[in-house]
Chains A and B, each alone.
Chain A
Amino acid sequence: MTSPSPAPSSLPSDAASAVQAALGAEHAAIWVYGLVSAFLPEQFAGAVTDGANAHRARRDATELLLADAGEAPRPAEPAYVPPQPVTEQASAIAVLVLAETDTTVAWRAVLERTDDATLRANALQALTDAAVRATRWRRAAGESPAAAAFPGRPAS
Protein backbone atom coordinates (compact mmCIF):
# COMPACT_ATOMS: atom_id res chain seq x y z
CA MET A 1 0.00 0.00 0.00
CA THR A 2 1.32 3.40 -0.90
CA SER A 3 -1.24 5.50 0.95
CA PRO A 4 0.63 7.43 3.63
CA SER A 5 -2.47 9.03 5.15
CA PRO A 6 -4.01 7.24 8.12
CA ALA A 7 -7.55 5.91 7.88
CA PRO A 8 -10.16 7.61 10.03
CA SER A 9 -10.03 6.01 13.46
CA SER A 10 -13.78 5.64 13.58
CA LEU A 11 -16.53 5.71 11.00
CA PRO A 12 -20.04 7.06 11.56
CA SER A 13 -22.57 4.32 10.89
CA ASP A 14 -23.85 5.71 7.58
CA ALA A 15 -20.31 5.97 6.21
CA ALA A 16 -19.43 2.53 7.57
CA SER A 17 -22.39 0.83 5.90
CA ALA A 18 -21.61 2.59 2.60
CA VAL A 19 -17.99 1.40 2.78
CA GLN A 20 -19.17 -2.15 3.61
CA ALA A 21 -21.43 -2.04 0.53
CA ALA A 22 -18.47 -0.86 -1.57
CA LEU A 23 -16.40 -3.74 -0.18
CA GLY A 24 -19.25 -6.07 -1.20
CA ALA A 25 -19.07 -4.66 -4.75
CA GLU A 26 -15.29 -5.26 -4.81
CA HIS A 27 -15.78 -8.88 -3.68
CA ALA A 28 -18.37 -9.39 -6.43
CA ALA A 29 -16.13 -7.81 -9.07
CA ILE A 30 -13.21 -10.07 -8.11
CA TRP A 31 -15.50 -13.08 -8.48
CA VAL A 32 -16.73 -11.87 -11.88
CA TYR A 33 -13.19 -11.32 -13.20
CA GLY A 34 -12.40 -14.88 -12.14
CA LEU A 35 -15.48 -16.18 -13.90
CA VAL A 36 -15.03 -14.46 -17.27
CA SER A 37 -11.46 -15.34 -18.14
CA ALA A 38 -12.47 -18.71 -19.58
CA PHE A 39 -14.85 -17.03 -22.03
CA LEU A 40 -12.57 -14.29 -23.36
CA PRO A 41 -9.92 -14.62 -26.07
CA GLU A 42 -6.25 -14.03 -25.34
CA GLN A 43 -6.37 -10.40 -26.47
CA PHE A 44 -8.29 -9.51 -23.28
CA ALA A 45 -6.04 -11.43 -20.88
CA GLY A 46 -4.08 -8.34 -19.87
CA ALA A 47 -7.20 -6.27 -19.19
CA VAL A 48 -8.72 -9.10 -17.14
CA THR A 49 -5.57 -9.46 -15.05
CA ASP A 50 -5.28 -5.70 -14.53
CA GLY A 51 -8.93 -5.37 -13.55
CA ALA A 52 -8.80 -8.31 -11.14
CA ASN A 53 -5.61 -6.95 -9.53
CA ALA A 54 -7.10 -3.47 -9.17
CA HIS A 55 -10.21 -4.85 -7.45
CA ARG A 56 -8.09 -7.04 -5.14
CA ALA A 57 -5.96 -4.05 -4.14
CA ARG A 58 -9.09 -1.99 -3.49
CA ARG A 59 -10.64 -4.85 -1.49
CA ASP A 60 -7.52 -5.17 0.68
CA ALA A 61 -7.30 -1.42 1.29
CA THR A 62 -11.01 -1.26 2.12
CA GLU A 63 -10.78 -4.18 4.56
CA LEU A 64 -7.87 -2.43 6.29
CA LEU A 65 -9.77 0.84 6.45
CA LEU A 66 -12.77 -0.89 8.07
CA ALA A 67 -10.64 -2.89 10.50
CA ASP A 68 -8.75 0.25 11.55
CA ALA A 69 -12.10 1.87 12.29
CA GLY A 70 -13.11 -1.07 14.47
CA GLU A 71 -15.54 -2.52 11.94
CA ALA A 72 -15.54 -6.18 10.90
CA PRO A 73 -15.10 -6.21 7.10
CA ARG A 74 -17.92 -7.98 5.32
CA PRO A 75 -16.72 -11.31 3.86
CA ALA A 76 -17.22 -12.30 0.23
CA GLU A 77 -20.27 -14.39 -0.67
CA PRO A 78 -19.48 -18.00 -1.58
CA ALA A 79 -20.78 -17.33 -5.11
CA TYR A 80 -22.66 -14.72 -7.11
CA VAL A 81 -25.39 -15.12 -9.71
CA PRO A 82 -24.97 -13.09 -12.91
CA PRO A 83 -28.30 -11.78 -14.20
CA GLN A 84 -27.60 -13.48 -17.53
CA PRO A 85 -25.69 -16.73 -17.91
CA VAL A 86 -22.11 -16.20 -19.06
CA THR A 87 -21.54 -18.44 -22.06
CA GLU A 88 -19.31 -16.56 -24.52
CA GLN A 89 -17.46 -13.31 -25.17
CA ALA A 90 -20.48 -10.97 -25.36
CA SER A 91 -22.08 -12.18 -22.14
CA ALA A 92 -18.68 -12.22 -20.43
CA ILE A 93 -18.08 -8.57 -21.32
CA ALA A 94 -21.65 -7.67 -20.33
CA VAL A 95 -21.14 -9.05 -16.81
CA LEU A 96 -17.80 -7.19 -16.55
CA VAL A 97 -19.57 -3.94 -17.43
CA LEU A 98 -22.20 -4.74 -14.81
CA ALA A 99 -19.60 -5.49 -12.12
CA GLU A 100 -17.75 -2.24 -12.84
CA THR A 101 -20.99 -0.26 -12.94
CA ASP A 102 -22.09 -1.72 -9.58
CA THR A 103 -18.70 -0.71 -8.21
CA THR A 104 -19.14 2.90 -9.39
CA VAL A 105 -22.56 3.09 -7.73
CA ALA A 106 -21.18 1.77 -4.43
CA TRP A 107 -18.25 4.20 -4.32
CA ARG A 108 -20.27 7.23 -5.34
CA ALA A 109 -22.60 6.36 -2.44
CA VAL A 110 -19.57 6.56 -0.13
CA LEU A 111 -18.83 10.07 -1.46
CA GLU A 112 -22.35 11.08 -0.45
CA ARG A 113 -22.13 9.58 3.05
CA THR A 114 -18.90 10.93 4.46
CA ASP A 115 -17.28 14.30 5.11
CA ASP A 116 -13.88 12.71 5.71
CA ALA A 117 -11.48 14.05 3.06
CA THR A 118 -9.27 10.92 3.00
CA LEU A 119 -12.21 8.57 2.60
CA ARG A 120 -13.64 10.82 -0.12
CA ALA A 121 -10.32 10.77 -1.98
CA ASN A 122 -10.29 6.96 -1.83
CA ALA A 123 -13.90 6.75 -2.96
CA LEU A 124 -13.30 9.16 -5.87
CA GLN A 125 -10.28 7.16 -7.04
CA ALA A 126 -12.25 3.89 -6.84
CA LEU A 127 -15.23 5.45 -8.64
CA THR A 128 -12.96 6.85 -11.37
CA ASP A 129 -11.00 3.61 -11.89
CA ALA A 130 -14.16 1.52 -12.16
CA ALA A 131 -15.78 4.02 -14.55
CA VAL A 132 -12.69 3.92 -16.80
CA ARG A 133 -12.68 0.10 -16.85
CA ALA A 134 -16.43 0.03 -17.57
CA THR A 135 -15.77 2.36 -20.51
CA ARG A 136 -13.00 0.12 -21.86
CA TRP A 137 -15.25 -2.95 -21.67
CA ARG A 138 -18.10 -1.14 -23.38
CA ARG A 139 -15.68 -0.14 -26.14
CA ALA A 140 -14.54 -3.75 -26.41
CA ALA A 141 -18.19 -4.70 -26.89
CA GLY A 142 -18.59 -1.98 -29.53
CA GLU A 143 -21.12 -0.05 -27.41
CA SER A 144 -21.72 3.64 -27.96
CA PRO A 145 -21.77 5.78 -25.93
CA ALA A 146 -19.04 3.95 -24.05
CA ALA A 147 -18.57 6.51 -21.25
CA ALA A 148 -21.32 7.25 -18.73
CA ALA A 149 -22.05 10.96 -18.23
CA PHE A 150 -22.63 10.35 -14.51
CA PRO A 151 -20.81 7.19 -13.45
CA GLY A 152 -22.20 5.82 -10.20
CA ARG A 153 -25.49 7.67 -10.37
CA PRO A 154 -28.06 5.09 -9.33
CA ALA A 155 -30.53 4.20 -12.08
CA SER A 156 -33.80 5.94 -11.24
Chain B
Amino acid sequence: MNVARRDVLRVLALLPGAALAAAGTGACTGTPEEPPAPDPLVELAARARADAATASAVAAAVPALAAAAGEVAGARGEHAAALRAEVDRERPPVSSSSAPPPEPASPPADVAAARALLVDALTAAQKEAGTLVASLPRYRAGLVGSVAASCASLREVLA
Protein backbone atom coordinates (compact mmCIF):
# COMPACT_ATOMS: atom_id res chain seq x y z
CA MET B 1 0.00 0.00 0.00
CA ASN B 2 2.74 2.35 1.08
CA VAL B 3 4.85 1.33 -1.87
CA ALA B 4 1.94 1.77 -4.24
CA ARG B 5 1.28 5.28 -2.99
CA ARG B 6 4.92 6.15 -3.38
CA ASP B 7 4.76 4.88 -6.94
CA VAL B 8 1.79 7.09 -7.66
CA LEU B 9 3.62 10.09 -6.25
CA ARG B 10 6.65 9.30 -8.35
CA VAL B 11 4.53 9.08 -11.47
CA LEU B 12 2.85 12.40 -10.65
CA ALA B 13 6.22 13.96 -9.94
CA LEU B 14 7.42 12.92 -13.34
CA LEU B 15 4.62 14.58 -15.23
CA PRO B 16 5.79 18.22 -14.94
CA GLY B 17 9.23 17.11 -16.06
CA ALA B 18 7.78 15.42 -19.07
CA ALA B 19 5.77 18.52 -19.87
CA LEU B 20 8.91 20.65 -19.55
CA ALA B 21 10.80 18.31 -21.87
CA ALA B 22 8.04 18.56 -24.42
CA ALA B 23 8.05 22.34 -24.15
CA GLY B 24 11.82 22.26 -24.57
CA THR B 25 11.64 20.40 -27.87
CA GLY B 26 8.80 22.63 -29.03
CA ALA B 27 10.97 25.69 -28.40
CA CYS B 28 13.32 24.56 -31.14
CA THR B 29 10.75 25.17 -33.84
CA GLY B 30 9.12 28.34 -32.51
CA THR B 31 7.70 30.09 -29.50
CA PRO B 32 5.05 28.13 -27.56
CA GLU B 33 2.34 30.65 -28.49
CA GLU B 34 2.66 29.98 -32.22
CA PRO B 35 0.44 27.29 -33.66
CA PRO B 36 2.46 24.28 -34.85
CA ALA B 37 3.37 24.18 -38.53
CA PRO B 38 0.86 22.22 -40.60
CA ASP B 39 1.80 18.59 -41.09
CA PRO B 40 2.96 18.22 -44.73
CA LEU B 41 1.31 14.78 -44.88
CA VAL B 42 -2.15 16.37 -44.50
CA GLU B 43 -1.90 17.68 -48.06
CA LEU B 44 -0.74 14.29 -49.41
CA ALA B 45 -3.62 12.55 -47.63
CA ALA B 46 -6.17 15.03 -49.03
CA ARG B 47 -4.80 14.57 -52.55
CA ALA B 48 -4.94 10.79 -52.20
CA ARG B 49 -8.54 10.95 -51.02
CA ALA B 50 -9.53 13.25 -53.86
CA ASP B 51 -7.79 10.95 -56.38
CA ALA B 52 -9.63 7.94 -54.95
CA ALA B 53 -12.95 9.74 -55.40
CA THR B 54 -12.10 10.77 -58.97
CA ALA B 55 -10.97 7.24 -59.85
CA SER B 56 -14.16 5.77 -58.39
CA ALA B 57 -16.23 8.15 -60.48
CA VAL B 58 -14.26 7.20 -63.61
CA ALA B 59 -14.66 3.50 -62.83
CA ALA B 60 -18.42 3.98 -62.59
CA ALA B 61 -18.77 6.20 -65.67
CA VAL B 62 -16.32 4.63 -68.13
CA PRO B 63 -16.82 0.87 -68.50
CA ALA B 64 -13.60 0.43 -70.49
CA LEU B 65 -11.65 1.75 -67.50
CA ALA B 66 -13.69 0.09 -64.75
CA ALA B 67 -11.01 -2.39 -63.67
CA ALA B 68 -7.99 -0.09 -63.97
CA ALA B 69 -9.68 2.95 -62.41
CA GLY B 70 -11.05 0.70 -59.68
CA GLU B 71 -7.51 -0.41 -58.85
CA VAL B 72 -6.37 3.24 -58.74
CA ALA B 73 -9.29 4.09 -56.44
CA GLY B 74 -8.44 1.24 -54.09
CA ALA B 75 -4.73 2.05 -53.84
CA ARG B 76 -5.24 5.82 -53.48
CA GLY B 77 -7.81 5.13 -50.77
CA GLU B 78 -5.20 3.03 -48.93
CA HIS B 79 -2.69 5.86 -49.32
CA ALA B 80 -5.16 8.35 -47.84
CA ALA B 81 -5.85 6.10 -44.84
CA ALA B 82 -2.16 5.37 -44.12
CA LEU B 83 -1.12 9.02 -44.47
CA ARG B 84 -4.02 10.15 -42.28
CA ALA B 85 -3.08 7.53 -39.66
CA GLU B 86 0.50 8.83 -39.63
CA VAL B 87 -0.71 12.43 -39.24
CA ASP B 88 -2.96 11.39 -36.33
CA ARG B 89 -0.20 9.29 -34.73
CA GLU B 90 2.13 12.26 -34.66
CA ARG B 91 -0.50 14.74 -33.50
CA PRO B 92 -3.66 13.08 -32.17
CA PRO B 93 -6.72 14.95 -33.46
CA VAL B 94 -8.79 16.95 -30.97
CA SER B 95 -11.99 15.70 -32.54
CA SER B 96 -12.32 12.59 -34.63
CA SER B 97 -14.36 14.29 -37.31
CA SER B 98 -12.47 15.31 -40.43
CA ALA B 99 -13.44 17.52 -43.31
CA PRO B 100 -15.98 15.98 -45.70
CA PRO B 101 -14.44 14.45 -48.81
CA PRO B 102 -14.45 16.79 -51.79
CA GLU B 103 -17.08 16.17 -54.43
CA PRO B 104 -15.34 14.79 -57.50
CA ALA B 105 -16.09 16.64 -60.69
CA SER B 106 -18.14 14.47 -63.01
CA PRO B 107 -15.59 12.50 -65.02
CA PRO B 108 -15.27 12.72 -68.79
CA ALA B 109 -17.13 9.92 -70.55
CA ASP B 110 -14.44 9.78 -73.22
CA VAL B 111 -12.00 6.94 -72.46
CA ALA B 112 -8.86 8.81 -73.50
CA ALA B 113 -9.82 11.95 -71.58
CA ALA B 114 -10.74 9.97 -68.46
CA ARG B 115 -7.47 8.04 -68.62
CA ALA B 116 -5.50 11.27 -69.07
CA LEU B 117 -7.27 12.78 -66.06
CA LEU B 118 -6.13 9.91 -63.84
CA VAL B 119 -2.62 9.70 -65.30
CA ASP B 120 -2.11 13.44 -64.71
CA ALA B 121 -3.39 13.15 -61.14
CA LEU B 122 -1.02 10.23 -60.43
CA THR B 123 1.92 12.11 -61.97
CA ALA B 124 1.20 15.16 -59.77
CA ALA B 125 0.82 12.95 -56.69
CA GLN B 126 4.07 11.11 -57.40
CA LYS B 127 5.88 14.43 -57.81
CA GLU B 128 4.44 15.93 -54.63
CA ALA B 129 5.29 12.85 -52.55
CA GLY B 130 8.73 12.45 -54.13
CA THR B 131 9.67 16.06 -53.45
CA LEU B 132 8.76 15.64 -49.78
CA VAL B 133 10.88 12.50 -49.27
CA ALA B 134 14.19 14.40 -48.96
CA SER B 135 13.12 16.33 -45.87
CA LEU B 136 10.97 13.88 -43.90
CA PRO B 137 11.91 11.92 -40.77
CA ARG B 138 13.12 8.42 -41.65
CA TYR B 139 9.98 6.42 -40.99
CA ARG B 140 7.90 8.89 -42.99
CA ALA B 141 10.44 8.88 -45.82
CA GLY B 142 9.75 5.16 -46.26
CA LEU B 143 5.97 5.58 -46.21
CA VAL B 144 5.89 8.57 -48.55
CA GLY B 145 8.49 6.99 -50.85
CA SER B 146 6.22 3.97 -51.17
CA VAL B 147 3.26 6.21 -52.01
CA ALA B 148 5.31 7.91 -54.76
CA ALA B 149 6.41 4.55 -56.17
CA SER B 150 2.83 3.28 -56.04
CA CYS B 151 1.54 6.28 -58.01
CA ALA B 152 4.15 5.57 -60.72
CA SER B 153 3.05 1.90 -60.72
CA LEU B 154 -0.63 2.82 -60.98
CA ARG B 155 0.11 4.74 -64.19
CA GLU B 156 1.24 1.40 -65.65
CA VAL B 157 -2.11 -0.10 -64.76
CA LEU B 158 -3.79 2.60 -66.87
CA ALA B 159 -1.34 2.18 -69.75
- A-side interface residues toward B, CB under 8 Å? 104, 108-109, 111-115, 117, 120-121, 123-124, 127-128, 130-132, 134-136, 139, 144-153
Contact = CB atoms under 8 A, between A and B. Distances in A.
Interface in B106-159: 126, 130, 133-135, 138-139, 141-143, 145-150, 152-154, 156-157
A152 B138 contact: no
Interface residues of B, number: 28
Interface of A, helix, strand, loop or mixed by DSSP: helix
A151 B71 CA distance: 15
Contacts of A109: 142
B146 A112 contact: no
Contacts of A114: 138
Given A135-B156, A144-B71, A145-B74, A127 B134 contact: no
Nearest to A153: B146
Interface of B: 67, 71, 74-75, 78-79, 82, 126, 130, 133-135, 138-139, 141-143, 145-150, 152-154, 156-157
A113 B147 CA distance: 18
B146 A135 contact: no
B138 A123 contact: no
Contacts of B126: 128
A149 B141 contact: no
Q: Which of A128, A134, A136, A146 is the most central at the interface, judged by chain B CB atoms within 10 Å of its CB? A: A128
21 contacts: A104-B149, A108-B146, A111-B141, A112-B141, A115-B138, A120-B145, A121-B133, A121-B134, A132-B156, A135-B153, A139-B157, A145-B75, A146-B157, A147-B75, A147-B156, A147-B157, A148-B153, A149-B78, A150-B146, A152-B145, A152-B146
Contacts of A148: 75, 150, 153
A117 B135 CA distance: 8
B159 to A, nearest CB: 8
A145 B78 CA distance: 13
A114 B74 CA distance: 30
A25 to B, nearest CB: 15
B146 to A, nearest CB: 4
Going nearest first, the 6 A-B pairs with the smallest beta carbon separation are A147-B153, A112-B142, A131-B149, A135-B153, A149-B78, A128-B149
A1 to B, nearest CB: 20
A128 B146 CA distance: 8
A128 B139 CA distance: 17
